[in-house]
Amino acid sequence: EPEVTQTPSHQVTQMGQEVILRCVPISNHLYFYWYRQILGQKVEFLVSFYNNEISEKSEIFDDQFSVERPDGSNFTLKIRSTKLEDSAMYFCASSGPLGTRRNQPQHFGDGTRLSIL
Amino acid sequence: AQSVTQPDIHITVSEGASLELRCNYSYGATPYLFWYVQSPGQGLQLLLKYFSGDTLVQGIKGFEAEFKRSQSSFNLRKPSVHWSDAAEYFCAVGAPAAGNKLTFGGGTRVLVKP
């Protein structure tokens, strides 16, 4: 069964540094998402992305965050200048295919654990 | 804005016993509802979904859930629990008009006693 893959599984970064989290969505999916889960808290929506633009973003997704689909297979989340409170598990998800956004569930990767020191 | 409440943080159940996990949602339109399961160190795996139609939906691993509009609930059930069902379970509501974002409940951790 096709799956969403995320790399790395664990990222340790100094505060203030830039970090890029990478995701390879399921190949025929067209809708992409990032979520995060701070330890002990709920899974929170960050951003959704379709047709090379952001569809929706949460208030967490401020100017320090950006997303990109640099090629036909990768979907990345960049945090420009990391803060201690960015430490969390970040999940990528995808759904599709074409024309079925409302009826297709999101499939999640195993996550990247981001630790900010 | 949508919200999801899972009233039970932890549930302990004996292997072979039945399991019911509660989920209450708040959403202004017809909800799209999901249950996901997360094993330690793993991502979120979809158990089942409700979009419309039959209010009793069947999922993977022997799970089912019932949508009750009058109670704003979408409870998950399994008749006989296996030790491998020990995990954290998340209920979520989808918002197609808002980028299809999912809003999750806080999760219920299920422990299975032998």
pLDDT in tens, B83-109: 999 999 999 998 877 778 899 999 999
Q: What is the pLDDT of residues A36-89, one digit of tens each?
A: 999 988 999 999 998 899 999 999 999 999 999 988 789 999 999 999 999 999
Residue B43 contacts residue B37 (beta carbons within 8 Å): no
DSSP classification of residue B7:
-
pLDDT digits (tens, 9 = 90+) for B53-87: 889 999 999 999 999 999 999 999 999 999 999 99
Q: Does B35 touch chain A (CB under 8 A)?
A: no
Q: A19, A80 in Cβ contact below 8 A?
A: no
Interface of B with A in 84-103 (CB under 8 A): 90, 92, 96, 98-103
Does the pLDDT value for residue A95 go beyond 70? yes
CB pairs under 8 A between A and B: 63
The minimal CB distance from B99 to the residues A4, A55, A111 is found for A55
Q: Is A48 on the interface with B (CB under 8 A)?
A: yes
Single-letter code of the amino acid located at A29:
H
What pLDDT is recorded for position A70? 86
pLDDT over 90 percentage in chain B: 76
Whether the Cβ atoms of residue B94 and residue B107 lie closer than 8 Å to each other: no
Q: Residue B79 gets which letter from DSSP? A: S
